[in-house]
Amino acid sequence: MKKILLIPLSLFILMLTACSYGTSSGGPSSEPVDITITTGNPPIALPTISKPIPDTKQTNHEDLFQSLIKDTSKTVPYIQLGEKIQIELKDKAPQSYELKEYLLRDSGTLKYKEETAKTITIDLTFQDGKGSFILEENVASYLSSNTQDYEEGATLRGFHFVGEWTNKKEELVFVVRTDATKKSS
């Protein structure tokens, strides 16, 4: 009788041990990173979409850009060139990170192939969980021969942030409308 009880009890303990893998402090965390992206004074929060990146998967930022643009509850804001965009992490800064910029079509797809318009990696340094950059002209904006692309607010720019912490890797995108070129004073 004791052997009969011992087998189910052993299986139960084995199942509990297997199910708890990944939820301890050593496994991957499922908690999303708390990131806020703002611009302006007073600060305006920019709409974002983020998701964890499993170790075996490559990022697909274009799908995230399209999802953000299709989300009718989120408005893509207009930001003038020369404005500061701030990224604030509520938790500790990632061990490694990268912020890239892309020119987008209104659908959220890339406007130019990466071979045509080189992706811009933005220099960003975090201090006390905050990093910022100035929204400058993107030289790839000059590739367009469509005069409507040079109208105010006609340039759609997508930003893709990938951060890697001790127990997780996460990507986040945000999109802004801006001008193709600085206005002359």
175 HSE (CA, 13 A, CB side):
29
Cβ atoms 150, 174 nearer than 8 A: no
- Reading across the β-sheet that carries 44-45, which strands appear in turn? 44-45, 35-39, 84-89, 130-134
pLDDT at 40 over 50: yes
Over residues 45-78, the pLDDT tens digits come to 999 988 888 765 666 788 999 999 999 899 999 9
> What was the pLDDT predicted at 29?
57
CA 85 to chain centroid: 14
pLDDT at 26 over 50: no
Over residues 115-158, the pLDDT tens digits come to 777 788 898 888 888 999 999 999 999 999 999 999 999 999 99
pLDDT at 178 over 50: yes
d(CA 62, CA 74): 17
Q: Which run of H or of E encompasses 61?
A: helix 61-70
